[in-house]
Structure 1
Amino acid sequence: MSEQTIALVTGANKGIGYEIAAGLGALGVTVGVGARDDTRREEAVAKLRAAGVDAFGVALDVTDDASVAAAAALIEERYGRLDVLVNNAGITGGREQEPTTADLDIIRTVVETNVIGVVRVTNALLPLLRRAPSPRIVNMSSSVGSLTRQSTPGGELGPIAAAYSPSKTFLNAVTVQYARELAGTNILINLACPGYCATDLNGYRGHRTAEQGAATAIRLATLPDGGPTGAFFEDDGSVPW
């Protein structure tokens, strides 16, 4: 890591995103807390600073072109580059998602945030990442995005979901394409599965803590040069596609 490492974590005002920001900050990284809600974002920044983290707020709605462009401009003005981007912001779209009765607007909304939002943010920040000596991109996926796990008899994960689970499979596929395009550069881009964590995304039903869920993302955000790219990881190793 360079003397001053700059990171941006989207959806970092709470849950796993907050714990990723906290974990990176504990390593001495300067962390941008990306979030839509002004109050929650500034509360998170204040809490991180009280814990000794060099944190700053970044107003960011991943579904809005102007918001993403403004976030990129803020980081460029302050630091001139970005070392780490963690695309954590995501939504589930609600629990009733049987494909035969799916609300098409919900599917569109979930894909807009969980996939297109990641592409929008990544592309806006790539010029700043290219200026960093060892840039890292981490996309937060889920084990429910694994077609292998979803299709293994008796091993299906979570409820039937025509929006959320496929959005993570889509994100996995897009990430692989980024890795292919960025091959030969110093940019490493990988997917992190946090496991089933107790957050408001699932009504706090998960059996893992948000801090535990942040661990893989923090590891991928701080990979040494020559590390893996275009891969999908959880705590115990690779996740099957």
Structure 2
Amino acid sequence: MSSQIEIALDLVSVVSLMIISAGMIKDYLYYKMFGIRIFSFLSIDEIIISFADNLLYYLLILISSAFFLISFIANSEVLLPSISHLSLISRLVEYFGENIPALFITIALNAAILLFGYLRKKIQWFETLLNIILSWIAFWLLPIILFEFQISTDISNSGMSNHYIITMAISLALYSIMSAFNEAYKVKHYKHYHGTEVELEDEIITSDDTYYYVGHSKNYIFFFDSELKASEVWPIATVKRFKFIK
């Protein structure tokens, strides 16, 4: 029992580190696009909170691809002894042949996510498509690569569990990188915060095509001037009201 608790605690520690690291990557790259050194203005808890929406969407993608991943992991232990001598193409046929039901379920769920993203005003179709492509790479391609690695190196199944954790870490890091560039692109080119109003003590700033809000932390609010290519940081204490346009 104690060993199971230790394993659970270790897993929680690893997952927490993955989430914090992914959040740091995302925040750093996003604000870097606007010339802001964000870690001078953020604490660790704010990094996690700011990454929460991305994490929820990542989990949605994970769930949509989990049917194939779970089926793949379960069947891989059975397949390994019988297909290790086959060619790569033959092994790929076996991989997908044994997981056809899960494959169709995953495709259907990914299609539903794509449709949901297309219908949402604030979610561009290309970002949903990128998320789905990333999920296919992370939860389909990487496990197959790891399985092939297992065949070539003949490592134990217990050792493969660490490789699946690595798969998750890589996929989360890729997702955070993509999210950062995607969100910065939307703010700059699709005017994601166009019309957002920030009422300060002596004026009201309305985001337009050239001067716009890009985010805020617990203590600061950030603006960017696209004509001057310059960012501005205001103390949040000077803000009396936010008005976000849906």
TM-score, normalisation: structure 1: 0.32
Select the structure of larger CA radius of gyration.
2
